[in-house]
Structure 1
């Protein structure tokens, strides 16, 4: 019997670092503003119509992402953006039109996210985003992303409106929570995957309250810039960040041993995945702790 051949799969998700988090926050903040632009002022189409429009947009971008053969910054961040937009409109519909309120909507969506993450874990697919290299794993990732971005709007509204903290104090609170997670990543043995998902979820309400702090009228605690100006400025910043990833060494296609894409094959994979690029850039192995064989950690 000849030697076994290692199967290689390609991860279509970006490596996690400062650029990832900066782009994620801008994209989710833009999602809040873009949704308000369509569902409220100036288009005033309503939450239900907006949610249907954005769901179709999400379906298109997700289909492009799933069909891609490598990481494409424009496609990937388009899916993140559409999940943020549709999440905002669905959250507003649940909380306001359906009458669940900010607290009720937050509890419902938090429960749904927990169910999604537990179900993901039970499938045996890795939850380390830098090792996701299967279609099933990617579908689970986008399902969790859509739910977390919907939850983000509800939780942001709950903090600023339900608890009466206001937009600016809510932004400071969420920023502080992000710093605590960052410190825990470097100073504690807490699972990097758990910390990643905590930070991943928190970026959405952070973006929501930050956007409201800029967009909303002064009488409501904002700066009064309006949705048109806010959306245009955020779109420009997002375009710059995505463009930077396309030309500046972040456009990386990572090859992962297919056995490492599922925790059920080897819960303690040893050796980092390799990283290659179409422009000759050699990426670093994913995960600060990969050399320890901790395949379920994701570098913040």
Structure 2
């Protein structure tokens, strides 16, 4: 049995989560437009695999290690979802449907083989592998949903971001009314934070001709990256307080 290696979903958790989604969107766009997309995606995939492998092999939660893995998921997940549309020509609604089905498959497999989907119980290797599979698919699904809303539905980046913010507010309200359970509410919000952060990042970054402020993906990436570093450095240690009674895990 391992110690739980997923942080408590506190307000600070959700703030950093949204920052990583915007950062992943902006940095992905910045990299693939300034470098050859194929080697860029391959290098990102290798870095992602290494960082995620370090996170999974670790015996305890560490904020920097965990959020580094989430950041790489955000960047690589965005590249995969964008490549499906730009390089392969898959329509946004098709990729949205495919990733939605994939997420359901992950949840079903996780539930049948490793028990509860509650993130307070990621305390075995099997559960942690399923958890990260779910995280990767939620980022890809959120990217496809955000692109679908902004491009096909014609909502635009700002309006799309506000719509996803409203969607999260609905999830919170349903949780408060106990219509949604804690696990369903968590994963619903987790999916919606991806297009929320990406929509606002795109709105700030893209040219005014596309409905944005024109700050550029490089500047947005830098600002959001610094914000993530700052927040992770000063995060209150809810995780340590929440799991303070857990025994030290055995050696490897």
Q: Give me the TM-score of the superposition, normalised by structure 2.
A: 0.93
| 2:114/2:127 contact within 8 Å kept | no
Indicate the residue corresponding to 1:280 in structure 2.
none
1:10 aligned residue (3, 7, 15):
3
Pairwise CA distance, 1:124? 3.4
The structure having more radius of gyration, on CA atoms, is: 1
Structure (1 or 2) with the greater helix fraction: 2
- Once residues 32 and 194 of structure 2 are traced to their aligned partners in structure 1, the CA distance between those partners, rounded to angstroms, is 19
- In structure 2, what is the equivalent of residue 39 of structure 1? 32
Q: Which has the higher contact order (CA 8 A, sep 6+)?
A: 2
CA distance in 1, matches of 2:137, 2:75: 12
Q: 2:177 aligns with which of 187, 203, 207?
A: 187
Kindly state the Cα deviation for residue 21 of structure 1 after the two structures are TM-superposed.
0.4
The whole-number CA distance in structure 1 between the counterparts of 2:46 and 2:204 is 28
**Two-structure CA RMSD over aligned residues (Å):** 1.8
Tell me which residue corresponds to 2:221.
Answer: 231
Structure 1 residue 114, shift from structure 2 partner: 1.2
How much does 1:276 deviate? 8.5
3-state SS in 1 of match to 2:122:
coil
CA distance, structure 2, for counterparts of residue 101 and residue 115 of structure 1 = 21
Q: Does 1:118 align with 2:108?
A: yes
**What is the aligned partner in structure 2 of residue 106 from structure 1?**
96
Classify the secondary structure of the residue corresponding to 2:3.
Answer: strand
Q: 1:66 & 1:254 partners in 2: Cα distance?
A: 20
Q: Does 1:53 align with 2:46?
A: no
Question: Is 1:78 the equivalent of 2:71?
Answer: no
2:237 aligned residue = 249
Q: Distance in 2 between matches of 1:50 and 1:197?
A: 30
**Shift, 1:253, TM fit:** 7.4
The more displaced of 105-114 and 197-206 is 105-114
Structure 2 stretches lacking a partner, 5+ long: none
After the TM superposition, list the runs of 4 or more consecutive aligned residues in structure 1 that deviate by more than 6 angstroms: none
Consecutive unaligned residues in structure 1, runs of 5 or more: 1-7, 256-272, 278-300
Q: 1:136 to 1:254 in 2, by over 3 A?
A: farther
Deviation (angstroms), 1:30:
0.4
Offset, 1:239 = 0.5
What is the TM-score normalised by the length of structure 1?
A: 0.79
Residues 175 and 182 of structure 2 are in contact (CA less than 8 Å); yes or no, is this contact kept in structure 1?
Answer: yes
Q: 2:166 aligns to what?
A: 176
Q: Distance in 2 between matches of 1:275 and 1:21?
A: 24
User: Which is further off, 181-190 or 164-173?
Assistant: 181-190
1:49 Cα deviation after fit: 2.9
CA distance in 2, matches of 1:156, 1:54: 22
CA contact (8 A) 1:11 1:254 kept: no
> How far is the alpha carbon of 1:58 from its aligned partner?
1.2
| Contact residue 152 and residue 202 of structure 1 kept, 8 A | yes
Offset at residue 252 of structure 1 (A): 1.7
